[in-house]
Amino acid sequence: MTRDEFAEKIHWSVIIWVIGFINVTAMLPQLYQIIKTHNVQGLSISMFTIYLVVQVCMALEGYFKRIRMLQACLGLSACISASIIVLILCYR
């Protein structure tokens, strides 16, 4: 069985989209807490900035290689990271 046949057999494209959206939703609880409490104490702006850079780069990789999952999921994740960074800056 080839790599492509195995990927098709386990429905890899569906799995990777699900994982991509899990990545998008992973930071939503943090964003919600910040909006709800306005408390950003203990949050590292450096960490979220690194996440943002990685997410933007991976979204661009998806754009250049025409991989929609990377474009969509990492682009949305970058938006959430950027929102968290803005809120950290506003509430400090």
Contacts of 2 (CB under 8 A, 6+ apart): none
Residues in the chain with pLDDT values less than 70:
none
Token pair in block for residue 23: 């990545």
How far, in Å, CA of 82 to CA of 63, rounded?
A: 19
How far, in Å, CA of 57 to CA of 63, rounded?
A: 10
For residues 10-45, one letter each, b for 16 or more C-beta atoms within 10 angstroms of the residue's C-beta and e for the rest, the string is: eeeeeeeeeebeebbeebeebeeebeeeeebeebee
For the chain, what are the domain ranges?
A: 3-91
List, for residues 66-83, the tens digit of each pLDDT value: 999 999 999 999 999 999
Domain 3-91, CATH: 1.20.1280.290
Predicted local distance difference test score (pLDDT) of residue 85: 97
Predicted local distance difference test score (pLDDT) of residue 11: 95
